[in-house]
């Protein structure tokens, strides 16, 4: 399979259109049937694959950053009498297990970015369903705050994966139906067991949609509802957006370089090192001065580059087991930018950037690699960049200085950014999750904001896993990496996914934890992907043959 690139822009879109109309934007799904990411299937009936979702993710980002005047986004179909048939079944049937799982994960993150935009950017999404919204098509609608369905006796919403394909709705449908839309469990059971779905007044009664609209009044009612919802937003009507330009990314063998991030791959060891650099320029004088820098403004640039690196490793480097996280530069510079974002958070762009950083860090939380943060002389795990250490499965600190190295000893410096702006999917910060049940430890850490914490003090406060002197560092790191490489990758993925999300369960943790784990398992079962399985036989006219054992 060719390398999957997550970078795109509107002139390259094949499946989506963005049509801004003042405070409203129409995000139109009009999938090119011949535009599949891979060969061997056609994207009929607005069905989608990963390529369609890569464009959608890009469109959502651009609406947030390039269109501050847009207060409501209407998701709609560009095709008559069909909204979206969901994930393309031929694609799923041909895809490797790993591709299916990564596809579902990225699609989940994209749906959640819609909800994040509605909740935190006040750019509220409305879904206007004109036709059938089946499977992933209805899951896309479920990400919106308000769902409208045309009442024409044909259009319906459906989650038919279980009866048709022997799998589950893979991008949060089950969970959003019960947790978000508060559909009764017994009704949800019926709804998810029928192929034809539910339409009209019954869809409203069961809370599957918010309103139905006669076909004769469809266009004007959708527009009126969008303006009504837009009126509740605090987005600035007269602000000017910034352009998200192509990343300055360079591939050189097993090295990927960005202005602020480097990725070095060691295939023989199943290892990659990501190095994130602190800002080299002083903090701008004002939010407007920061906006004038566009997407070169350090917090935005580093969020985009780190996100692209993580997505690349997920999709294109499945055999890489361990990611070493390193930082370099001036910790004070990182904290200065954090303080700037805190002080200017009322500015629409600064708010967007903080939420982008949050979403990028969340991508690490759900990436199936072992993350190890290395705190060494010259590193700058401070504030926002300290979140990398807290996102890691383990963090190792070199105590003191290395022989022949005159750089300052490794330290970790906490900032206000570690105590609120970047919650995980469980609704807690990474430090709250780390010190679950230890409020006194969390309070002790908060008292150290701004203080560089070296060696034993960082270990004693619980901010790093282990600390080693220079004479032990190389051997201890080597032994740990060799041990990690000896474990089953499957077992490690399951272990890490469970341990990363301590604390309360939320809709998001249920989707990425419980639902994803079940779907991952079901995608490997013969009932779904065996020669007589439903995914293999769909559309052939032959009924699947199921093994009847409950496992």
202-217 confidence digits (pLDDT tens): 999 999 999 999 999 9
3-class DSSP state of 130: coil
Instruction: Report percent pLDDT > 70 for the chain.
Output: 100
- Residue 104's pLDDT is 93
Q: How many Å apart are CA 3 and CA 516, to the nearest integer?
A: 24
Q: Can you count the helices (H) and strands (E) in the chain?
A: 23, 20
What pLDDT, in 10s, does the model give residues 250-294?
Answer: 999 999 999 999 999 999 999 999 999 999 999 999 999 999 999
Instruction: Report percent pLDDT > 90 for the chain.
Output: 91
What order do you get walking across the sheet with 381-382 strand by strand?
Answer: 381-382, 411-413, 452-454
Q: What is the mean pLDDT of residues 351-358?
A: 98
Taking CA atoms, 107 is separated from 103, 181, 503, 521, in Å, by 6, 20, 25, 18
Residue 345's pLDDT band, with cuts at 50, 70 and 90, is very high
- Residue 514's pLDDT is 81
- Residue 517's pLDDT is 83
Q: What is the mean pLDDT of residues 4-14?
A: 97
Domain boundaries defined on the chain: 12-230, 250-495
- Residue 382's pLDDT is 98
Q: How many Å apart are CA 74 and CA 92, to the nearest integer?
A: 28
Q: What is the mean pLDDT of residues 391-412?
A: 92
Both tokens assigned to 235: 């987005």
> What would the CATH number be for the domain defined by 12-230?
3.90.226.10
Q: Does domain 250-495 have CATH number 3.30.1360.120?
A: no
Residue 323's pLDDT band, with cuts at 50, 70 and 90, is very high
Taking CA atoms, 358 is separated from 40, 213, 365, 422, in Å, by 37, 37, 11, 5
Beta-strand ranges (E) seen in 110-210 are: 124-129, 132-134, 146-151, 157-158
- Residue 93's pLDDT is 87
Upper half-sphere CA count for residue 550 (Cβ side, 13 Å):
0
Q: How many Å apart are CA 84 and CA 76, to the nearest integer?
A: 9
Taking CA atoms, 538 is separated from 43, 48, 59, 173, in Å, by 15, 17, 32, 21
What pLDDT, in 10s, does the model give residues 430-475?
Answer: 999 999 999 999 999 999 999 999 999 999 999 999 999 999 999 9
């Amino acid at each position: 399979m060719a390398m999957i690139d997550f970078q795109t822009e509107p002139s390259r879109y094949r499946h989506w259109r963005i049509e801004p109309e003042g405070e409203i934007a129409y995000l139109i799904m009009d999938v090119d049937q011949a535009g599949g990411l891979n060969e061997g299937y056609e994207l009929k009936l607005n069905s989608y694959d990963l390529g369609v979702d890569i464009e959608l993710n890009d469109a959502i980002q651009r609406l947030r950053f390039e269109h501050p005047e847009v207060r409501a986004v209407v998701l709609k179909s560009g095709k008559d009498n069909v909204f979206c048939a969901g994930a393309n079944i031929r694609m799923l049937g041909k895809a490797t297990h790993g591709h299916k799982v990564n596809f579902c994960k990225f699609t989940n993150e994209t749906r959640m970015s819609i909800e994040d935009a509605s909740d935190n950017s006040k750019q509220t999404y409305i879904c206007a369903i004109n036709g059938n919204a089946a499977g992933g098509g209805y899951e896309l609608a479920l990400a919106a705050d308000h769902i409208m369905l045309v009442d024409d006796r044909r259009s319906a919403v459906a989650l038919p994966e279980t009866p048709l394909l022997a799998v589950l709705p893979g991008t949060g449908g089950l969970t959003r139906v019960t947790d978000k839309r508060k559909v009764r469990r017994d009704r949800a059971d019926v709804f998810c067991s029928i192929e034809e779905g539910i339409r009209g007044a019954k869809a409203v009664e069961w809370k599957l949609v918010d309103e139905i609209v006669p076909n004769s009044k469809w266009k004007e009612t959708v527009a009126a509802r969008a303006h009504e919802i837009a009126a509740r937003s605090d987005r600035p009507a007269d602000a000017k957006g910034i352009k998200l330009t192509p990343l300055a990314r360079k591939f050189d063998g097993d090295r990927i370089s960005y202005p602020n991030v480097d990725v070095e791959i060691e295939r023989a060891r199943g290892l990659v090192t990501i190095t994130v650099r602190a800002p080299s320029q002083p903090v701008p004088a004002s939010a407007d001065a920061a906006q004038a820098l566009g997407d070169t403004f350090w917090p935005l640039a580093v969020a985009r580059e780190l996100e692209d690196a993580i997505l690349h490793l997920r999709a294109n480097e499945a055999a890489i087991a361990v990611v070493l996280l390193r930082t370099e530069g001036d910790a004070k510079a990182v904290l200065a930018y954090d303080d700037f974002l805190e002080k200017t958070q009322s500015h629409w762009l600064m708010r967007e950037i903080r939420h982008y950083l949050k979403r990028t860090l969340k991508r690490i939380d759900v990436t199936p690699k072992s993350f190890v943060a290395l705190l060494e002389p010259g590193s700058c795990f401070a504030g926002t960049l300290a979140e990398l250490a807290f996102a890691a499965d383990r963090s190792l600190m070199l105590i003191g200085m290395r022989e022949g190295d005159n750089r300052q000893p490794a330290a970790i410096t906490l900032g206000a950014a570690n105590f609120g702006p970047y919650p995980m999917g469980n609704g807690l910060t990474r430090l709250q999750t780390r010190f679950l049940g230890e409020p006194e430890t969390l309070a002790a850490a908060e008292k150290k904001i701004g203080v560089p914490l070296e060696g034993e003090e960082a270990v004693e406060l619980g901010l790093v896993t282990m600390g080693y002197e220079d004479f032990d560092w190389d051997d201890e790191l080597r032994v740990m990496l060799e041990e990690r490489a000896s474990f089953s990758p499957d077992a490690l993925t399951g272990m890490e996914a469970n341990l990363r999300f301590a604390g309360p369960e939320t809709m998001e943790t249920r989707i990425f934890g419980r639902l994803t784990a079940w779907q991952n398992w079901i995608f490997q079962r013969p009932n779904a992907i065996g020669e007589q399985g439903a995914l293999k036989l769909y559309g052939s006219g032959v009924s699947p043959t199921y093994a009847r054992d409950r496992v």
